[in-house]
Structure 1
Amino acid sequence: MNASTQSAEVPTGLINLKTAASLIDVDVKTLKNWIKAGRIRGFRINGRLWRVQRDELLGLVQVALDIETAGVE
């Protein structure tokens, strides 16, 4: 196999789960549950370390805020 078939494209803007959790004020376990449920994509680095894309995480939170404030005038 050559290097191009072995390496997967790694997205940019990855942050660890602890940082992500503190960014949106949830527990790390909540993020892991969201990854398992498919609400957000998680990426394993070095086989065991989870990372999420910062922009995708903030987009998920923004959608929730939009839904929450849609009925408030």
Structure 2
Amino acid sequence: MCSLALLAEEEVGLPVVKLSPQIRSGAVEAQAYTDLACEELAGVNAESAAQQRALAIRKQQCLEQYRQFIPNTGLR
């Protein structure tokens, strides 16, 4: 019980950070697409224009990764 009183005394000295409500930016949403595995991209639907751009960029990155395994003898 004494340890709880000590913890309470220590917490009183900590600085208080007040946060105000903010509108979320598309950067957080775009970051979610860069973390997706290439195999999961087929089932993902983008809702906003920013999400569509981020998804297109991620699909292009995956295409570049797989392009190294495509033989150069195919028709172009």
Instruction: Calculate the TM-score normalised by the size of structure 1.
Output: 0.33
Name which one, 1 or 2, has greater alpha-carbon Rg. Answer: 2
Kindly indicate whether structure 1 or structure 2 has the higher relative contact order, using CA contacts under 8 Å at least 6 residues apart. Answer: 1
